[in-house]
């Protein structure tokens, strides 16, 4: 009997695999992925595996790819397949030769794919619609970045606000309430960017910046300094200590995200 929580995803494009796998996992599914068709068939033949849906990407619905889908269908005969194809011709060929439940043609919305899985598994979960074009993605509602950002501030309202803003923008955010804790996280977490307040008890932002830049293992991590309005000397000192940028408080969400993207060269 099929496991209603497990999805098999066979996709050779690593980027596309990550996008689909992430969306399905967020929807509560256990996802098993394969990028080698021959290995996939061999492992399925050797082991008894239960799935609720099989998703196979068919960049061109040629005889070999159709044979792959047919072989999997024979091994897991009770499990419905969803095929991803690149053209209308591939779509028609797949529909005419294979007993598939759903065929999606690129570009397609991940929301559509997840919805199709929900129908087969008997679920209904709302997902954000991410458009997939081959191996690349563009988010209509939210873009996810792999970048990790450490935000440091002793004022909880600033810390929580910056964390929320950056997470909504798609970043992975960790926090620290002072310079000492922040330095430990810089070493252990290896963030892609540090955003730190200047005025903090104990180790302040300038001392944290110096420690980061004086350590050969962390010296290349960019640092954005948060400075109070009107403190021009803080800005000049931050620049002299090799800070990558500075933001004057209070700041708008757009300004914060724009500066982060600029420093991380995401624009």
* 34 in any annotated domain: yes
**Domains in the chain, number:** 2
Do 156 and 175 have their domain in common?
Answer: yes
Rounded (5°) CA angle 100-103-109: 145
Supply the CATH number for residue 49's domain: 3.40.50.2300
Selection from 69-73, 107-111, 176-180, 233-237 with the highest mean pLDDT: 176-180
* 238 in any annotated domain: yes
* 237 in any annotated domain: yes
User: At which of 84, 116, 139 does a domain end?
Assistant: 139
3-state secondary structure of 33: strand
Do 175 and 132 have their domain in common?
Answer: no
Do 22 and 119 have their domain in common?
Answer: yes
Do 10 and 80 have their domain in common?
Answer: yes
* 174 in any annotated domain: yes
* 25 in any annotated domain: yes
Tokens for 101?
Answer: 């439940």
**Where do runs of H (alpha helix) occur along 50-169?**
63-75, 88-97, 110-121, 156-168
Do 242 and 122 have their domain in common?
Answer: no
User: At which of 94, 111, 139 does a domain end?
Assistant: 139
**125: confidence class by pLDDT, cuts 50, 70, 90:** very low
Do 170 and 248 have their domain in common?
Answer: yes
Per the CB < 8 A criterion, the answer to whether 127 and 27 are in contact is yes
Do 85 and 56 have their domain in common?
Answer: yes
Do 154 and 119 have their domain in common?
Answer: no
**CB atoms inside a 10 Å sphere around CB 39:** 10
pLDDT at 113 over 70: yes
* 1 in any annotated domain: no
What residue has token string 């200047």?
198
**141: confidence class by pLDDT, cuts 50, 70, 90:** very low
Residue 211 gets which letter from DSSP? H
Q: In this predicted structure, what is the pLDDT of residue 210?
A: 96
Do 160 and 131 have their domain in common?
Answer: no
Q: Quote the domain boundaries for residue 81.
A: 6-139
What is the H or E stretch that residue 122 is in?
Answer: none
* 188 in any annotated domain: yes
* 162 in any annotated domain: yes
pLDDT at 47 over 60: no
Do 77 and 179 have their domain in common?
Answer: no
Residue 190 gets which letter from DSSP? -
pLDDT at 69 over 70: no
Residue 153 gets which letter from DSSP? -
Tell which residue, 263, 237, 172, has the closest CA to residue 163. Answer: 172
Q: In this predicted structure, what is the pLDDT of residue 229?
A: 63
Candidate from 9-18, 32-41, 238-247 with smallest mean pLDDT: 32-41
Task: Please state, for a pLDDT cut of 90, what percent of the chain lies above it.
Answer: 28
More confident residue, 259 or 83: 259
Do 217 and 160 have their domain in common?
Answer: yes
What residue has token string 């129908």?
119
The average pLDDT across 244-254 equals 85
User: At which of 101, 117, 139 does a domain end?
Assistant: 139
**132: confidence class by pLDDT, cuts 50, 70, 90:** low
Do 128 and 184 have their domain in common?
Answer: no
């Amino acid at each position: 009997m099929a496991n209603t929580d497990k999805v098999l995803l066979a996709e050779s494009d690593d980027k596309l695999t990550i996008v689909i796998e992430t969306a399905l996992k967020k929807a509560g599914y256990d996802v098993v992925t394969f990028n080698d068709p021959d290995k996939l068939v061999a492992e399925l033949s050797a082991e008894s595996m239960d799935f609720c849906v099989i998703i196979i990407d068919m960049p061109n619905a040629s005889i070999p790819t159709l044979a792959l889908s047919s072989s999997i269908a024979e091994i897991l005969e009770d499990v419905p397949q969803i095929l991803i194809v690149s053209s209308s011709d591939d779509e028609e060929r797949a529909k005419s030769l294979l007993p598939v439940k759903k065929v999606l043609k690129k570009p397609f919305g991940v929301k559509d794919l997840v919805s199709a899985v929900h129908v087969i598994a008997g679920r209904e979960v709302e997902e954000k619609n991410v458009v997939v074009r081959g191996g690349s993605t563009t988010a209509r509602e939210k873009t996810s970045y792999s970048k990790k950002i450490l935000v440091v501030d002793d004022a909880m309202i600033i810390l929580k606000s910056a964390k929320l803003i950056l997470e909504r923008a798609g970043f992975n955010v960790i926090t620290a309430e002072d310079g000492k804790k922040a330095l430990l996280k810089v070493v252990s977490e290896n963030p892609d960017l540090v955003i730190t307040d200047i005025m903090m008890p104990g180790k302040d932002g300038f001392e944290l910046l110096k420690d980061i830049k004086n350590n050969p293992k962390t010296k290349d991590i960019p640092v954005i300094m948060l400075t109070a309005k009107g403190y021009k000397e803080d800005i000049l000192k931050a620049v002299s200590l090799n800070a990558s940028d500075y933001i004057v408080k209070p700041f708008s969400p757009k300004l914060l995200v724009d500066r982060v993207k600029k420093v991380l060269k995401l624009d």
